[in-house]
Structure 1
Amino acid sequence: MMTGIEVEVVETSSLGDRSYLAHDGQVAVVVDPQRDIDRVLALAGRLGVRITHVAETHLHNDYVSGGLALARLTGATYLVAGADTVGFDRLPVADGDEVTVSDTMRIGVVATPGHTFHHLSYVLYGPDGPQGVFTGGSLLFGTTGRTDLLGKQHAHTLAEHQHDSVRRLADLLPDGAHVWPTHGFGSFCSATQSDAPDSTIGREREVNPALRLEADAFIAETLAGLDAYPAYYAHMGARNTDGADLIDLTPARRADAAELAERIAAGEWVVDLRSRKAFAHRHLTGTLSFGLDGPMSTWLGWMAPWGTPITLLGESEQQVADAQRELARIGIDRPAAAATGHPDDWAAGDDTRLAKLTTATFHDLAAARDGAVPHGLPAPEALLDVRMTNEWRTGHIEGAAHIPLPDLPHRLADVPAGTVWVHCGSGYRAAAATSLLQRAGRTVVHVDDAYANAADAGLTIITSKENA
């Protein structure tokens, strides 16, 4: 029989989040579960443990929680901050509470406001004392959770709380205690991005700004680093406050070529999930590139008008199912329709309904700017940078126009006239942008290249913030 406590990580890399299952070989507590709880149930089944408690560190803004559904399905006790007004039954917990999970495992509740006003952390105690702390959006790896999700008017006050909360955890726990955050692995809930796969309180003392800087300096640094966050966040908090029901991952209704043509003609979002290289080679005219090999749900959920019909096109049933799961995590519960196969299938063999997307590199751009346009490429009359504002301010190519990708759907009229070459940081966002511009009738070239190569190609990089 297993002795001691084990903590299993359930990673959702597409959203930059982690959920946790802590167990003693018999019973388990689950912290901050994502909406697709089948993964958690499968893990508990493999481990042979019974889920008796589910805990939320906060009412999440970046995903629909599976906590309520998991608690109801398993009969587990559901721990949610008592200070939060919610539309469901739960065990209201507050600072100083302790909950016994088993003879060898208990959790202590610590108020850690900052990411939200009523944010909680949970200290996991074993037979030998504190093992670690589930920190949600408070103390992250090398950073903290952002403090502006409840409105810019609260950002400064919450940053003050965040500084105090992180220091409270560091004072409360020994250096060897593990830190188990929910955010910080690419999530926009994080003030900056994670710099390590795991951490402890001792490590955070050395690297975390909240523990290295005094309050004023930490607050200034935190607020200065905040950039935009996905528009769909506005819907997540309310959904989690009301309580989300079970996820529905049954297959979406299939659309034939005629229906796809109708949806495209109506201006709906018909999304190609294949890689951007496959999309560039051949795609159904009027479709949009959001490859499943990148953060599809984040960018699609951010850009598509909330509630708009979304149709998914994939090479396989599995690709569509994976995309459907990712979208359900952020509250896009059911696609309007779906189709599988290849562009020829979606066009019913009509080549006039197919298109390609011209691609280039930064070396091609440099050559074109020098007057030697590479064969087969249209000359760039404009260059569009669709990276986020903080990326742009750090450095950008001389002469580029800047429209962050999430703003592009309602700023198409601001894109400079003529043939426009489009780039981002790696090529993924530029694919989405060029497909959107192509759908709007523009002549575009997708710079499918890493931004780090721009300087090496001889392009002039503007780094002065005064010129940004």
Structure 2
Amino acid sequence: MSSLTILAIETPSLGDRSYLVHDGEVAFVIDPQRDIGRVLALLEEHHLRLTDVFETHIHNDYVTGGLALAQRTGAAYHVNAADEVSFERTPITDGETVAAGSRMKIRAIATPGHTFTHLSYALLDGDEPYAVFTGGSLLYGATGRPDLLGEEHTDALVRHQHASAHKLAEQLPDEAEVFPTHGFGSFCAATQSESTQSTIGQEKRSNPALTQDEETYARELLEGLASWPAYYAHMGPANAAGPGAPDLSPVQPADAHELRRRIEAGEWVVDLRNRTAFAAGHAPGTLNFGLDGPFATYLGWLIEWGTPVTLLGETADDVAEAQRELVRIGIDRPAAQATGGPEYWTDGTLASFATGTFADLEQVRRHRPVLVLDVRRADEHEKTRISGAMNIPLHELPQRVAELPDAEVWVHCAGGYRAGVAASILDAAGLRPVAVDDSFANAEDVGLPVVGSEV
């Protein structure tokens, strides 16, 4: 089995991993993302024949590339027989073993919890498990969240999740390596971990699902769950319908007049540059979701679903990268694009706003009153916050801008990315933001009054 190779295909912007496993000739794939070109490139690079594609579950945080990949390569597409889908698949059930080529065997293990029909897949060496692909079941130091199917199912699912973790721990040897799909920043994870690899034995020692009794695990997990992106509501239906391959060809260009028309029509015109460059100068009314952060997660979370999106990038490659990110969450075709810089994107004067640090904020507060706006999630704000700060989580801001007074608004988050997005929203609404581009860990150190449970 040591001759087998497991390649992780990272999607950092969504916090997920897909996996390609091969024996030098034949390959199978677990939970492929929508942009299947990355898988196809690996198959070509290693001269592999893809025989099987496996889904651990009907995903809630991205649009799958599984059906398109199977159709492109002729591979069998394995989806739980209990899942209600609108496409032809190779149904698979708990305990079923699939041979991939002559040297690899994969056994399905029912692990409900993240969804009711979730499967994990054990990779066998003979009849012994060598590794396990756990999807949204057993993660590194955590489990997938159980609340994405609705509040009415959460209690049942969290108890299924606890039982499924124990099932894996009982059926698999301690040395079996664990390869989850979620848990690398994905909001599908109940909590986050810094780990990049693990085994069943390590999880037995550190994972709350395996170290706590069911009641304690359920209570603490549910108490710690935070908000999840609004676009998740569209992912399950899209995946059950059978998404095809995305169209990543360039979209029509737009000049400054066309961009202004789209902004005035209420469409989103999105500047992909980093937050520092955007603050220094941008086309009025544009919004800043930089490619240097979780671009698709936050754009998909904030936008009213179906609103046309136009992309502004310094280069065509930037726009192409943004298109690739967006198809992963089901925003298939931007309305238009423009490249170059803000001087090409407006016929008038550029807009701008100030940036600062927490040290700057501490000094300013000595001389004049300002509003401190914290756009972190409510759970983050509750744990520790600047005394007197107003909290409007970023994902609520577009609907709550009217709550803000006509004042100088110093907007902050944990590290700067969300504050940059928020400042662009406030600027487009005619307010006077100052974006705090700094780590929140510095706030108390520079003398700002910080309160909360973690102080």
- So what's the TM-score if we normalise by structure 2? 0.98
Whether the 8 Å contact between 2:411 and 2:435 is mirrored in structure 1 is yes
Which amino acid is 1:356 matched to?
A: S
Which amino acid is 1:84 matched to?
A: D
Task: Tell me the residue number matched to 2:320.
Answer: 321
Give the SS at the match of 2:198.
Answer: coil
Whether the 8 Å contact between 2:77 and 2:90 is mirrored in structure 1 is yes
- Whether 1:370 and 2:366 are equivalent positions in the alignment is yes
Looking at structure 2, the residues matched to 153 and 336 of structure 1 have their Cα atoms a distance apart, in angstroms, of 38
Q: Deviations over 1:350-409 (max 9, x none)?
A: 3x2x111111111111112222xxxxxxx4531110001121111010000000000001
- Whether 1:438 and 2:437 are equivalent positions in the alignment is no
Q: What is the percent sequence identity of the aligned residues?
A: 57
Whether the 8 Å contact between 1:382 and 1:417 is mirrored in structure 2 is no
Divergent runs of 4+, >3 A: none
Q: 2:392 aligns with which of 389, 403, 408?
A: 403
Whether the 8 Å contact between 1:381 and 1:417 is mirrored in structure 2 is no
Task: Tell me the residue number matched to 2:448.
Answer: 459
- Whether 1:386 and 2:386 are equivalent positions in the alignment is no
Give the SS at the match of 1:122.
Answer: strand
Whether the 8 Å contact between 1:384 and 1:415 is mirrored in structure 2 is no
Looking at structure 2, the residues matched to 290 and 417 of structure 1 have their Cα atoms a distance apart, in angstroms, of 24
Q: CA deviation at 1:124?
A: 0.6
Quote the RMSD (CA, aligned, Å): 1.4
Task: Tell me the residue number matched to 1:374.
Answer: none
Q: CA deviation at 1:129?
A: 2.8
Task: Tell me the residue number matched to 2:214.
Answer: 215
Q: CA deviation at 1:262?
A: 0.9
Task: Tell me the residue number matched to 2:133.
Answer: 134
Q: CA deviation at 1:15?
A: 0.3
Looking at structure 1, the residues matched to 392 and 375 of structure 2 have their Cα atoms a distance apart, in angstroms, of 5
| 1:292-311 alignment runs, 5 A limit | 292-311=291-310
Q: Deviations over 1:58-104 (max 9, x none)?
A: 00000000000111111111110111110011111111111111221
Task: Tell me the residue number matched to 2:30.
Answer: 31
Task: Tell me the residue number matched to 1:81.
Answer: 80
Whether the 8 Å contact between 1:63 and 1:330 is mirrored in structure 2 is yes
Q: CA deviation at 1:114?
A: 0.2
Q: CA deviation at 1:194?
A: 2.2
Q: CA deviation at 1:414?
A: 1.8
Task: Tell me the residue number matched to 1:175.
Answer: 174
Looking at structure 2, the residues matched to 66 and 380 of structure 1 have their Cα atoms a distance apart, in angstroms, of 51
Task: Tell me the residue number matched to 1:355.
Answer: 351
Looking at structure 1, the residues matched to 205 and 253 of structure 2 have their Cα atoms a distance apart, in angstroms, of 54
Q: CA deviation at 1:155?
A: 1.2
Which amino acid is 1:29 matched to?
A: F
Whether the 8 Å contact between 2:375 and 2:392 is mirrored in structure 1 is yes
Looking at structure 2, the residues matched to 263 and 179 of structure 1 have their Cα atoms a distance apart, in angstroms, of 47
Which amino acid is 1:176 matched to?
A: E
Q: CA deviation at 1:180?
A: 0.5
Q: CA deviation at 1:257?
A: 1.1
Task: Tell me the residue number matched to 2:438.
Answer: 449
- The verdict on how the C-alpha distance between 1:251 and 1:422 changes in structure 2, with shifts beyond 3 A counting, is same
Looking at structure 2, the residues matched to 128 and 43 of structure 1 have their Cα atoms a distance apart, in angstroms, of 28
Looking at structure 1, the residues matched to 162 and 23 of structure 2 have their Cα atoms a distance apart, in angstroms, of 33
- Structure 1 residue runs of 5 or longer lacking an equivalent are 372-378
Looking at structure 2, the residues matched to 109 and 304 of structure 1 have their Cα atoms a distance apart, in angstroms, of 37
Task: Tell me the residue number matched to 2:268.
Answer: 269
Q: CA deviation at 1:420?
A: 1.2
| 1:61-80 alignment runs, 5 A limit | 61-80=60-79
Whether the 8 Å contact between 2:353 and 2:432 is mirrored in structure 1 is no
Which amino acid is 2:65 matched to?
A: G
- So what's the TM-score if we normalise by structure 1? 0.95
